[in-house]
Chain A
Amino acid sequence: MTSRTRLPILVFGGGLILALLPPVHWAASGAGLVLGLPRSLFYLFASSVLLTAGVVGLWFADGAREDT
């Protein structure tokens, strides 16, 4: 892992854990508000934004490589 790719991979790894671990799903379940959003929606959108940032970040960090 180079220093350029470390941050996007860490961001992405965080998103991956949030998206796939059942205990996280259970903890995020419910209608209680977090930053004005129902908890489960906050979880879904926050994890999705992290995943997106990870993939896009990886592309920019990885872009220096000589892929054809």
Chain B
Amino acid sequence: MAVALTYGIVAVFFLAVVAILQRARIRDRDFTDFAVAGRSFGGVYQAMAFLNTYIPGTVFIAGVGLIATKGVLGFYQLPACLLGQLTMYLMARRVWTWGATYDLRTQSDLLGLRFDSRAVRIVASLVGVLALLPFLVLAMQSLGLVFSALSYGRVGFVAAVVVGVFAMTIRQIWTVNMGMRGIVVSDLFQGFIAYCVGSVLVVGLLVWLVTRGFGFAAVAPTLYAFPGPATPVPLAYFSLVFTLVLASLCFPDLFIRLYTGNGVRSVKQAAAIGVPLALVFLGGLNLLALLASAVPAVAAAPERGWFTLAAQAGGPLTLGLAGTVVFAASMGNFDATVQSCGAQIANDVLGTYVRLTSAQLTLIARIAIGVLTIATAIVACLPLPQLFTLVLFGIQTVVQLSVPLYLGIFTRFGNAAGAVGGMVAGIATLLALDLRWPIAIPWAWGLSAGLLALAVNFAVYVVAALVVPQDAAERERVARLFAEIGAPKPATALTAASGE
């Protein structure tokens, strides 16, 4: 009976998502519609889509597990998420204007335009897809943990992953058919469940914990400490926050939120709505994880802490809700990630070698989404190392895009050789260091392999720019691009502004 209730709540949520998608079903007119939903969404949709992509279901699993074992060090995602949304705010005008003017559909499209280089576009796209792959597997695995926890352990982990993979694969029918429009429409509902209902649940669980004596005093004092100068890794917390801040808008699935808005104003509004929501949700969840560290059952299995608390506090009903919240966050993240990978493979890898029509690009993206869904489903069923290590690898990989992305968007400095050389050098350095020190490097005061790789990446970019300065034609081309930022809006933007 209890399992029927927990699974039933998730099933009702899933059917509601499907009903919303069916009701909103609009066929994509072209690849721009498929990739960026025709640049048609307002601020509220944008905010929920951003959060649903930025805060995956694994924050309830790997995130809670990290805080319950390492304490305040694991709070790094809170300031990073807030600063990441500020980055979106600051980039909005440039990226949205260039996107609408040149019909850009992906992050790599923009880098290709800025550096006038096919190589930059392809390398950036491959780095982006490589970084996103761990998150696809994690989303599938998160669902495995959801279905295992909702069965009170009766369904084994592998069988639960298969159930989760099945649900996620069914959901991708609409991602394949509706592209970005379906994702943003469903993100509104999924985001509401994950972060609004999730926040209410977090507050309820906090009250439950505190009233049972698990207040601040019950937490081990060591969990309140950041690694300090006396430890081998004094910069570990800084490294986590700074890497994620830089990486935030480097994730192709997050960057695309700058295109799906119906104007600069919508993108900025999304940040203004998303920041307080993130503060309440992530602040509450992180605090809950810290206080829960004193609960013996949570300490015994920290990554299941969210489900353990929910089951103890309110039985099957609360557990069902807790599982639905994680399901909603995981599904939103997976949809956006797999769609973004598909769009980049079609648009920026194959599309740069072969001249493809809009229909062919859409077809290739759909096939790529299908193949990625099946491939990650298989990998998700395998035993994998610590979930947090996988998260960190994805972040450290994608942050290598930050040098050409931020310097390319905010300055006229740099060239294609430096952009490609920097990214390749950065990834090579990362792979060499990350195998040995996946979290923090003791001889670098706790900086991550990703940040050291980023320093190499930056050095290559700067040296290339100084050794091979832009010629007059390139300077003029880049100056024209930057001059367009303040120019009148293109017609496509004005017509799209009346959408959703």
Residues of A10-63 whose CB lies within 8 A of B: 12, 15-16, 19-22, 25-26, 28-31, 37-41, 44-45, 47-49, 51-52, 54-56, 58-60, 62
> Are A38 and B216 neighbours in the complex by a CB distance under 8 Å?
yes
Collect the chain A residues with CB atoms within 8 Å of residue B489's CB.
Answer: 68
Q: Are B75 and A59 in contact (CB under 8 A)?
A: no
Q: Chain B interface: which size bin?
A: 35 or more
B86 to A12, Cβ gap below 8 A? yes
B residues near A12, Cβ cutoff 8 Å:
86
Docked complex Cα distance between A19 and B497 (Å): 36
Q: How far is the CA of A58 from the CA of B88 in the complex (A)?
A: 13
Q: Is the CB of A47 within 8 A of B79?
A: yes
Within the complex, the shortest CB–CB distance from B356 to chain A, in Å, comes to 31
Q: In angstroms, how far is the closest chain B Cβ from the Cβ of A36?
A: 9
A47 and B86 CA atoms in complex are apart in Å by 14
A22 contacts B238, CB within 8 Å? yes
Check B235 for interface membership: any CB of A closer than 8 A: yes
Assembly CA distance A53 to B317 (angstroms)? 36
Interface range for A: 20 to 34
Does B413 make an interface contact (CB < 8 A)?
Answer: no
Pair B241/A68 contact, Cβ less than 8 Å: no
Q: Spot the interface stretch: B267-275, B325-333, B344-352.
A: B267-275
A55 touches which of B79, B86, B237, B290 (Cβ 8 Å): B86
Chain-A contact segment, one of B30-38, B53-61, B141-149, B224-232? B224-232
> B8 contacts the other chain (Cβ, under 8 Å)?
no
Q: Chain B contacts of A16 at CB under 8 A?
A: 83
Tell me, in angstroms, the Cα distance from A54 to B279 when the chains sit together.
13
Which of B224, B276, B286 has the most A CB atoms < 10 Å from its CB?
B224
The residue of chain A having its C-beta at the shortest distance from the C-beta of B90 within the complex is A58
- CB-nearest residue of chain A relative to B224? A31
B interface: dominant SS: helix
A40–B263 touching, CB < 8 Å: no
A49 vs B226: C-alpha distance when bound (angstroms):
20
Alpha-carbon distance A54/B275, docked complex (angstroms) = 10
Q: Are A52 and B275 in contact (CB under 8 A)?
A: yes
Residues of A within 8 A of B290 (CB): 41
B370 within 8 A of A: no
Partner of A19, one of B241, B268, B276: B241
Whether B79 lies near A29 (C-beta < 8 A) is no
Choice from B82, B238, B242 contacting A48 with Cβ under 8 Å? B82
Interface residues of B in 156-191 (CB under 8 A from A): none
In contact, B226 and A59 (Cβ under 8 angstroms): no
Check: B154 CB closer than 8 A to any chain A CB: no
Q: Which residues of A contact B241 (CB under 8 A)?
A: 19-20
Given contacts A25-B237, A59-B271, A68-B497, A41 and B79 within 8 Å (CB-CB): no
Name the one of B238, B272, B276, B287 contacting A25, with C-beta atoms under 8 angstroms.
B238
Interface residues of B in 79-127 (CB under 8 A from A): 79, 82-83, 85-86, 89, 92-93
B residues less than 8 Å from A41 (CB atoms): 72, 216, 224, 287, 290
Is B279 touching A20 in the complex (CB atoms < 8 A)? no
B493 on the interface (CB 8 Å rule)?
yes
B225 x A29 contact (CB < 8 A): yes
**Shortest CB–CB separation between residue B100 and chain A, in angstroms?**
9
B78 within 8 A of A: yes
**Which of A29, A51, A52 is in CB contact (< 8 Å) with B224?**
A29
* B89 lies within 8 A of A58 (CB): yes
Inter-chain contact B228/A51, CB cutoff 8 Å? no
Interface residue B475 (Cβ < 8 Å from any Cβ of A): no
Q: Within B34-63, which residues are at the interface with A (CB < 8 Å)?
A: none
B93:A67 contact, CB within 8 angstroms: yes
Known interface pairs A26-B226, A26-B229, A31-B221. Does A52 touch B279 (Cβ–Cβ under 8 Å)?
A: yes
Which B residues are closer than 8 A to A by beta carbons? 72, 75, 78-79, 82-83, 85-86, 89, 92-93, 216, 219, 221, 224-226, 228-229, 234-235, 237-238, 241-242, 245, 263-265, 268-269, 271-272, 275-276, 279, 283, 286-287, 290, 489, 493-494, 497
18 residue pairs bridging A and B, Cβ less than 8 Å apart: A20-B238, A25-B237, A25-B238, A26-B234, A31-B224, A40-B225, A44-B79, A44-B286, A48-B82, A52-B279, A54-B86, A55-B85, A55-B271, A56-B272, A58-B89, A59-B89, A67-B268, A68-B263
The 10 nearest A-B residue pairs measured at CB: A59-B272, A68-B263, A67-B265, A31-B224, A19-B79, A67-B264, A51-B82, A29-B226, A31-B221, A55-B275
